């Protein structure tokens, strides 16, 4: 048997392994309930090969990051690469000086976000944060290439996303630019989904949406789902799930300073819901004020909070947009 025949056998084995692992991942996502809001996404996750979008990735270990890649000369490494690509876990795909620049999000969280986007046939979707291109491929499978636009600030990220998409047979519009400014030349949009962390909702997105459009974006450590009324107004609640993403990068955007939690009980310090309130009201409530409110209101979950964008102002709120608890957003 020649070398090329051995290579073909190895490729076939990897393809069969990928198909088996992908089917197992879809079953795991379905069991988590992530498809509940829109079960049609199950077909997309079953069809789109995630491993083609992560030709290499990094796995954190005791000695730092281990690089797994599909072109390794070691068959065992290639097998671990395929298996890891179909774990329900985020994958670090781009590092610079130890800083995470880009990743492939946890598939079950991606599924939940896509289901909560509530797309309809014919919708035009803008994705903020191209990442590996995997999410854009799922959208393209569901809606068609011509109705999907993905944008990222980093030309290296958009170029690699474009290559991954083409390798998998998808060709949505991949744009290099500041996601906070949207992509006006591809507007209007019926849906906007962000896969990076923001401090507020950019006004440019609203202006590029049709009335009734839905925006789903990470904010603080949650996911805000807003309905657009017109170019200057949008409103909606957070989903109850937690979400942690790489921050949107662009001009004049800086990471917030860490909050000192002195004086706050240890139980609250370790609470994800308390930390969400702190992140949402950063610079407005100090930790002691936030803790008092959190206890007084029964330790509210994320779904009790919301966002309103109206005219020149945007604010977060608890329970009611015009209620007693409201905090301006940047």
How confident is the model at residue 161, as a pLDDT?
A: 96
How confident is the model at residue 251, as a pLDDT?
A: 43
Inter-residue contact 38 to 118 (CB < 8 Å): yes
Please identify every residue annotated as catalytic.
Answer: 102
Question: For 238-246, what is the mean pLDDT?
Answer: 92
Question: For 125-151, what is the mean pLDDT?
Answer: 97
How confident is the model at residue 49, as a pLDDT?
A: 97
Inter-residue contact 236 to 227 (CB < 8 Å): yes
Question: For 127-155, what is the mean pLDDT?
Answer: 97
How confident is the model at residue 60, as a pLDDT?
A: 79
CATH architecture of 3-237: 3-Layer(aba) Sandwich (3.40)
Question: For 102-126, what is the mean pLDDT?
Answer: 95
User: Of residues 9 and 202, which shows the higher confidence score?
Assistant: 202
Residue 269 to residue 202: CA distance in whole angstroms: 30
Is the model's pLDDT at 1 over the cut of 50? no
Domain ranges of the chain: 3-237, 266-328
How many Cα atoms sit within 13 Å of 123 on the Cβ side?
24
Q: What is the pTM of this model?
A: 0.91
Cis peptide before 219 (omega within 30 of 0): no
List the one residue out of 238, 206, 209 whose CA is nearest residue 225: 238
Residue 322 to residue 313: CA distance in whole angstroms: 13
Q: What is the pLDDT of residues 178-237, one digit of tens each?
A: 999 999 999 999 999 999 989 899 999 999 999 999 999 999 999 999 999 999 999 999
Residue 99 to residue 324: CA distance in whole angstroms: 40
């Amino acid at each position: 048997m020649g070398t090329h025949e051995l290579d073909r056998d190895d490729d076939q084995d990897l393809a069969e392994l990928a198909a088996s692992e992908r089917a197992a991942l879809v079953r795991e996502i379905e069991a988590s309930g992530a498809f509940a809001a829109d079960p049609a996404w199950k077909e997309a996750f079953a069809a789109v090969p995630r491993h083609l979008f992560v030709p290499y990735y990094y796995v954190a270990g005791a000695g730092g990051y281990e690089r797994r890649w599909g072109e390794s000369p070691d068959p065992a490494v290639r097998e671990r690469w395929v298996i890891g690509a179909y774990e329900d876990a985020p994958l670090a795909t781009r590092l610079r000086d130890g800083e995470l620049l880009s990743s492939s999000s946890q598939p079950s969280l991606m599924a939940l976000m896509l289901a909560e986007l509530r797309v309809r046939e014919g919708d035009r979707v803008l994705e903020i944060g191209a990442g590996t291109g995997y999410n854009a491929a799922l959208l393209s499978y569901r809606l068609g290439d011509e109705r999907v636009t993905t944008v990222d600030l980093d030309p290296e990220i958009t170029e690699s996303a474009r290559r991954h998409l083409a390798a998998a047979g998808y060709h949505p519009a991949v744009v290099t630019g500041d996601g906070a400014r949207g992509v006006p030349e591809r507007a209007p949009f019926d849906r906007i989904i962000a896969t990076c962390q923001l401090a507020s909702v950019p006004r440019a997105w609203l202006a590029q949406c049709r009335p009734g459009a839905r925006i789903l974006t990470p904010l603080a450590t949650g996911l805000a789902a807003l309905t657009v009324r017109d170019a200057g107004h949008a409103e909606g609640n957070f989903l109850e799930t937690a979400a942690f993403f790489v921050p949107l990068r662009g001009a004049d955007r800086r990471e917030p300073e860490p909050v000192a939690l002195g004086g706050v009980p240890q139980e609250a310090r370790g609470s994800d819901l308390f930390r969400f309130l702190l992140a949402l009201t950063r610079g407005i409530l100090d930790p002691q004020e936030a803790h008092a409110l959190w206890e007084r209101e029964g330790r509210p979950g994320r779904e009790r909070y919301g966002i309103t964008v109206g005219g020149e102002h945007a604010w977060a709120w608890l329970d009611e947009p015009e209620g007693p608890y409201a905090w301006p957003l940047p």
